[in-house]
Amino acid sequence: MKSLELLLLPLLLILKDVSAQWNVWMPRDISAMTNSCVVIPCSFTYPSGVRPYRGIHGIWYFGHPYPQLFPPVVYKSRTDIVHESYKGRTKLLGDLTQKNCTLMINNVGVEHSGRYYFRADLGGANIYTFPDFTKLQVLDQPNIDVPEEIVSDQSLDLTCYVPDNCPDMSPQIQWMYTEDLPNPLFTPDNVEDSNTAVLSSTLTFTPKPMHNGQRLGCRVHYENTTFVYERLISLDIKYAPRFAWVNVSQEVMEGSSVVLHCDVDSNPTPKITWYFGDTELMSEVASNSSLPLDNLTPEEDGVYTCVGDNGYGSMNASMYLAVNYPPREPWINESLTVLEGSSVALQCISKGNPMPTLTWLKDGKLVGTITAEEGSVLELQEVTPQDHGVYRCLAENEHGRASNSLNITVEFAPVLLDDSKCTIVREGVQCVCIASGNPEPVIEFFLPDLNITINDYNNTFNYHTYSDGYTSTGIIKLQDKGERGNNGDTAVHVHCSISNTYGSETIPLGLQQEKKFMMAVIVGTIGGVAVIAFIIAAVRYVGQNNKKETTVITNLLAQLQAWRGKS
């Protein structure tokens, strides 16, 4: 305790000393509404040694404290002479003898804003202008305290202030345009600080994005007057993107051009970034953004996303852009040559959007199944010569069709065809040997009775061959005499040999209708009526055996008659 007293004592002495000097106390700042009044509280001290001579007088100056600079006189206790702009407006409320210099200014205007100095006049040389002053601010609007940043969904306090330094007039504060606010709360308050009073009203609510840009007002009214003061503000409410909009998914044809559009609602304006899949395409700071896509290719088919981000949050929207195109020319295997009996799998692959259906055609006829996959496989098991042909794979979708083909060539061992035979002709016997095979078969004849081989190298008996695709034909002609053999009408034996890489075969050729033809030829050479008689007899003879042969002989008869006519 003792030590505290020792500390305080010098301080009190200084304070006592101060009170015994020229000193003034008035608020540093004070404010008032236009047309209202203001009371500037003021008190002063003078040195205790000074004896006032003929009372205590005082002067209030505006702007400067020193009379030498002729500042406008606001109030003067000795006379009524005041500056024009203060005429009839000022009144000293304080009692100067009580060292109370409290001043009232009525009907203040903006022009009265400024510094007010007090000068004490105690008579004689004891005139003193105090350097301290009050700065008056005359307002024509109340003040609203708005936080620097207002964020959506966070509780907000807005305070409207109005000075309350006029004892005759009491202000009333009202908030305007609060009808749409969610649960607004109004808290009045009266703050007194340094003998100046401020009336306030705090509006509390939680703003939503929809309140961005909303006007709010604070209205001040003095009872029993027509004076009204209003201040309007517009809310700037920051909010994360509320929604992002992008075009609905759609289908377009390749080669076409589209413009995608994205709208993002946020405050402040977002940065809109476009993505194709994970690839960033472009970005810009705007509330909406257009993405032009020209001459679309199938590679641009996919998901497009627009992301809006403004630092308070982000939001995105996506759409699927389907780029349609007709099927591309299918990829298929190269043309193939396969050995009969083996198996092959043919593959066809085509792209298109929508996915094309794949169809296999062989020589224009449907084979296999129709598939709606990217690839189709046609399997040919144990290939036969009939599998030879043109295989076409046809890809179709609603936008078009495309196809590609391959040839399958089947290789096979020679096969003797039914038309192979020997027949009697005018000059003798003609033998024809026909065989199919791939590679084309080589045809040779062999006359076992004569031990003669007839082929390209030993080319006798009018031997000639020709080939037509995979069919080879060989022909020889045996003359009437000699080659028919030594034992007269007995037919000479002719063998046909067919061969290629995959096989060879030797087959005896039958002489068609051997006996009867032989007879016919022999008889034919003799000529005359006897021929006919003979043939009739032959017909009878044959007729007993076989009905079918009858017709053959009848034909032969006709031929013989024609032949005779010519010779």
Ligand X SMILES: *[C@@H]1O[C@H](CO)[C@@H](O)[C@H](O)[C@H]1NC(C)=O
Distant-in-sequence, close-in-space partners of 161: CB < 8 Å, separation ≥ 6? 142, 143, 144, 145, 198, 199, 200
Interaction between residue 102 and ligand X (CB under 6 A): yes
Residues 19 to 78 in contact with ligand X, rule: CB under 6 A: 43
Interaction between residue 202 and ligand X (CB under 6 A): no
Gap between the Cα atoms of 134 and 74, Å rounded: 13
Q: Quick one: which segment of 230-238, 286-294, 359-367, 469-477 binds ligand X (CB under 6 A)?
A: 286-294
Closer to ligand X by Cβ: residue 383 or 531: 383
Are 373 and 355 in contact by the 8 Å Cβ rule? The answer is: yes
* CA-CA-CA-CA dihedral for 519, 524, 529, 534, to nearest 10: 10
Size of the site for ligand X (CB under 6 A): 36
Closer to ligand X by Cβ: residue 146 or 338: 338
Tell the smallest beta-carbon distance from residue 156 to ligand X (Å): 27
Distant-in-sequence, close-in-space partners of 563: CB < 8 Å, separation ≥ 6? 426, 524
Tell the smallest beta-carbon distance from residue 543 to ligand X (Å): 41
Q: Quick one: which segment of 150-158, 232-240, 285-293, 543-551 binds ligand X (CB under 6 A)?
A: 285-293
Tell the smallest beta-carbon distance from residue 107 to ligand X (Å): 16
Interaction between residue 390 and ligand X (CB under 6 A): yes
For ligand X, which residue of 407, 490, 512, 555 counts as binding (CB under 6 A)? 407
For ligand X, which residue of 137, 283, 371, 405 counts as binding (CB under 6 A)? 405
Tell the smallest beta-carbon distance from residue 202 to ligand X (Å): 23
The overall longest dimension of the chain from CA atoms, in Å, is 196
Q: 500-506 contacts: CB < 8 A, separation 24 or more? A: 500/413, 500/414, 500/437, 500/438, 500/439, 500/440, 500/441, 500/442, 501/411, 501/439, 502/339, 502/340, 502/411, 502/412, 502/413, 502/414, 502/437, 503/413, 503/414, 503/437, 504/414, 505/414, 505/416, 506/446
* CA-CA-CA-CA dihedral for 346, 352, 358, 362, to nearest 10: -70
Tell the smallest beta-carbon distance from residue 278 to ligand X (Å): 8
Q: Quick one: which segment of 149-157, 281-289, 355-363, 517-525 binds ligand X (CB under 6 A)?
A: 281-289
For ligand X, which residue of 34, 287, 504, 550 counts as binding (CB under 6 A)? 287
Gap between the Cα atoms of 304 and 279, Å rounded: 10
DSSP code string of 501-524: TTEEEEEEEPBTTHHHHHHHHHHH
Tell the smallest beta-carbon distance from residue 302 to ligand X (Å): 13
Task: Map residues 412-451 to x or -, x wherever contact with ligand X holds by CB under 6 A.
Answer: ---------------------------------------x
Closer to ligand X by Cβ: residue 156 or 260: 260
Are 138 and 108 in contact by the 8 Å Cβ rule? The answer is: yes
Gap between the Cα atoms of 50 and 122, Å rounded: 8
Closer to ligand X by Cβ: residue 182 or 277: 277
Residues 139 to 198 in contact with ligand X, rule: CB under 6 A: 170
Closer to ligand X by Cβ: residue 333 or 430: 333
Q: Quick one: which segment of 213-221, 332-340, 491-499, 514-522 binds ligand X (CB under 6 A)?
A: 332-340
Interaction between residue 206 and ligand X (CB under 6 A): no
Q: Are strands 150-151 and 237-246 parallel, antiparallel or unpaired?
A: parallel
What is the radius of gyration, based on Cα positions, of the chain? 63
Closer to ligand X by Cβ: residue 207 or 428: 428
For ligand X, which residue of 34, 77, 100, 178 counts as binding (CB under 6 A)? 100
Closer to ligand X by Cβ: residue 345 or 533: 345
Closer to ligand X by Cβ: residue 204 or 504: 504
Selection from 511, 556, 525, 561 nearest residue 538 by Cα = 556
Closer to ligand X by Cβ: residue 86 or 445: 445
Beta bridge partners, 390, equal 407
Q: Quick one: which segment of 11-19, 93-101, 134-142, 421-429 binds ligand X (CB under 6 A)?
A: 93-101
For ligand X, which residue of 126, 174, 371, 453 counts as binding (CB under 6 A)? 453
Gap between the Cα atoms of 96 and 230, Å rounded: 38
Are 310 and 285 in contact by the 8 Å Cβ rule? The answer is: no
Interaction between residue 303 and ligand X (CB under 6 A): no
From the CB of residue 113, how many other CB atoms can be counted at a distance below 10 Å? Answer: 16
Distant-in-sequence, close-in-space partners of 301: CB < 8 Å, separation ≥ 6? 321, 322, 323, 353
Interaction between residue 344 and ligand X (CB under 6 A): yes
Selection from 196, 49, 96 nearest residue 136 by Cα = 196
Q: Quick one: which segment of 45-53, 146-154, 234-242, 343-351 binds ligand X (CB under 6 A)?
A: 343-351
Closer to ligand X by Cβ: residue 449 or 514: 449
Buried b (16+ CB within 10 A) or exposed e, 512-525: ebeebbbbbbebbe
Tell the smallest beta-carbon distance from residue 398 to ligand X (Å): 20
Inter-CA distances, 181 with 184, 204, 377, 491, 530, Å: 6, 10, 70, 125, 136
Interaction between residue 452 and ligand X (CB under 6 A): yes
DSSP category for residue 248: P
Does the CA dihedral 122-127-133-138 come out positive or negative?
positive
Interaction between residue 288 and ligand X (CB under 6 A): yes
Interaction between residue 281 and ligand X (CB under 6 A): no
Tell the smallest beta-carbon distance from residue 452 to ligand X (Å): 5
Residues 232 to 261 in contact with ligand X, rule: CB under 6 A: 247, 258-261
DSSP code string of 406-426: EEEEEEEEEEE-TT-EEEEET
Residues near ligand X (CB under 6 A) are 43, 93-94, 100, 102, 170, 223-224, 247, 258-261, 263, 275, 286-288, 305, 307, 316, 333, 335-336, 344-345, 347, 390, 405-407, 451-453, 458, 460
